[in-house]
Amino acid sequence: MTKKWWHDKVAYQIYPKSFYDSNGDGIGDIPGIISKLDYLQDLGVDIIWLSPCYPSPLADEGYDISDYYNIDPRFGTMEDMERLLAEAKKRNMYILMDLVVNHCSDEHEWFQKACADPDGKYGNFFYLRDKKEGRLPTNWRSYFGGPVWEDLPGTNKQYLHVFHKKQPDLNWENPDLREEVYKNINWWLDKGLAGFRIDAIINIKKALPMHSYEPDRADGLCSIKTMLKEANGIGEFLGEMRDRTFKKYDAFSVGEVFDEKPEEVPDFIGDNGYFSSMFDFNETIFGSSEKGWYDAKPITPDDYKKCCFQAQAKVGAVGFLSNIIENHDEPRGVSRYIPEGDCSPQSKKMLAALNFMLRGLPFIYQGQELGMENVPFASIAEVDDISTLDEYQVALDAGLSEQEALAAVAKFSRDNARTPMQWSDAANAGFTTGTPWLKVNPNYTSINAADQQNDPDSVRSFYKKLIALRKNPEYKETVVYGALEPVWEDRHNLMAYYRKGEKTLLVIGNYQKGGQDIELPRAYKKVLLNNDAQLIQDGNTIKMQGYQVLILEM
């Protein structure tokens, strides 16, 4: 593998709307991010990914972009963005933005021009079909529910949207559209951006000619994923984008890639891959059901271990995964991957170490370093997220009561990760002096950055130690490039693996409340990290306490 500047880095995702509000309007902003750069530098963060802060009507919280060349006034100005790039550079930090090019907003100039002249240049920037009375062009169901086809205002045509109806899909088959995308990417890279996180990219290739499939629900529609399985040739688009943009700048790119085939991994993230890295979603998609969130199967510690190891085996030494516990589209990881009722600083640290020490690039989502948890919803009226509202309706249609439907969707709601960052125990968790756009998790008085920053035993301090270990010159080569070998795979509620390189490290997590005895194959040299106050051993047998995690040098 060719070594790259980003291999040994640690990344941190910011959801700007919820990170820090500098002006009291209840919405986080870019000046707020600038004011917290020292906090991130102290943690050890190198790369910062900003979720969209482009102009947007916020039908899907900014993933519906109306202008790719500007900053939404809610978040600040282009001057603020340029100042953020300059301040990050001073601290040897790198800024990534979201690249959302499967679709734009229906308020984007291109779409407005397509409405005005559907047979002209901009009509071909989208997928338009003639309207036929009583039937849709295809029976695909959008990710947010309902058909993917919507009437094109003022015309006798319909347009395709695989997400929200305010997110018309861009026609990547059109070279003129692709040119516009590449021009925009290079414009940002020229400005000093270090790269992009690439949103929903698998969707850019449609199976053509478009046709319907067997319905999979009572609504007569089929999952959009059915079509995607049949779509071939995405590599032509992605290879062209890489060569015309990222490659020329040695920029970092990380793809939101779902449903790739195992044989395609080298194409995506090999030495000349389309992207520098791609996220591991094995754990996040586990247990999902075609019926909806209400039918999803909870993930157990043994399932979590299996998902991690499968992803690692699939990629091997071909390239780098980006490893996550949570992001803006998922619930809080500690509420999902730690058995119900067992969330504690100890169990949160265990989960952190098991994920962080995997081979690949660690991504921390804002508040993850504090162990932020899911938010309690009193009613569906408190929910902002469109996918949660859709899944709530799906659950009601399946016969669940309002209370049961709320309980089912609350576990997976994207709002769990979007509640304001918990900076202190002051009003509104220190996020804003105004009224926050989304309610603050009431547990901010006990889980917040101010309390944890100076507490050597806090979850945040443990993350800081994990980052320091990754960067320690003595261990860096092994932690970054070393092979990963699972061990004791069949042991119930135990996740353990070696990292083998210049040195041999052993990571052991007792993934349960009760103790567990582990017989080491030989004596260890040194304890590099331990989330428990003690280490009880008898010869080579270690008596692991509940949710204890150890990183040993062998």
Catalytic residues: 199, 256
CA distances from 389 to 146, 185, 362, 505 (A): 13, 33, 31, 45
DSSP class per residue in 208-262 = SS-------STTS-EEHHHHHHH---HHHHHHHHHHHTHHHHT-EEEE---S--G
Q: Report in angstroms the alpha-carbon separations of 404 from 191, 271, 272, 386, 408.
A: 49, 48, 48, 19, 6
- Kindly tell me the sign of the dihedral angle through the C-alpha atoms of 469, 473, 474, 480: positive
For 327, the 3-state DSSP assignment is coil
Q: Dihedrals φ, ψ of 417, to 5°?
A: -90, -10
3-class SS at 13? Answer: strand
Angular region, 200: left φ>0, alpha ψ -120 to 50, beta rest: left
d(CA 315, CA 113): 43
Matching residue, tokens 């018309």: 168
Residue 377, H or E segment: none
Contact indicator for 4, 360 with CB cutoff of 8 Å: no
In the numeric block, the tokens 């478009």 are attached to 210
Look up residue 164 and give its DSSP letter: -
Helix (H, G, I), strand (E, B), or coil: what is residue 349? helix
Compute CA 255 distance to the chain's CA centroid, rounded to the nearest angstrom: 10
- Look up residue 95 and give its amino acid: I
Q: What is the DSSP string of 92-137?
A: T-EEEEEE--SB--TTSHHHHHHHH-TTSGGGGGB-EEE-BTTB-S
